[in-house]
Structure 1
């Protein structure tokens, strides 16, 4: 709008028209701010727990057109059919998976939790059957829930302790008794 200088009514009209536009624009902005809602948290319906390099296959009741993950590098989703997906854990972490129908509606949301792979632990320094230190080790597989023998079919290495007691008799002789505990 171009304001012209005239000391009659026109100057006041153009100047007041300018301010009317500003007032209406400010009211429109304030009304828009008053109607804005705070963001709502996206909540998943379940949690899929995987280990790194573990894959599991899931099926859906409806066709899935698109799948998104909130974090890159934690899991990989591979479509098998329009209703079947395979999810593979890539690295320890968490991500939110959202599956969409062909019309764009959300079909399913899941948290995906990927944990470290199961570990193989070697324990050295055990004793052999002869009672001497062994150079060999005993292997265990450990998870977040505990550890178990790596090969449960192999019997454990025998372990025993021998305790000797010497008792003096009244006639000056002594008797030594040895006991072996397994």
Structure 2
């Protein structure tokens, strides 16, 4: 196999590798797009679920507000009947303590919900960072592909230079063979003259 054939085979292999790399990049891009779309759909579903839960919590708060309104009305009646319920003040104090405990529990629930929202926001930020990282990886792969194409152009240029050098060497070899034949002819002529003398 000549150098030219070897160079052609090498260039063909590089071309096939580039075609395979491009096909892999397209497949990876499609897979990343599908995964990103799937994540977006899951986030939408999660948002809808959280909205439904928040609506339920709002309804519970409305019910609690109504209960507090009823309690306020009852406390008004208690004030009007203050003289009558002196003996029941101990029971009223206990009920007020229970209401305060319920309010503390509601506040704790609100705090837990806020922490859940903060955690969801953190996860969303992490997902955005992952998407940016994937895009950076795709850009890096494209840059490597361009570098390989530049390398291929350089290899082709070197191949042409080698072919030119080979042609020059063959021309020089033919010139040397011609000079050797001329020198041999001169030596034969001199030898004949010496033989005659």
Larger C-alpha radius of gyration, 1 or 2? 2
TM-score > 0.5, shorter chain as reference? no
Greater per-residue helix proportion: 2
Name the TM tier (shorter chain). under 0.3
**Which of the pair has the greater relative contact order for Cα pairs under 8 Å at 6+ separation?**
2
TM-score by length of 2: 0.24
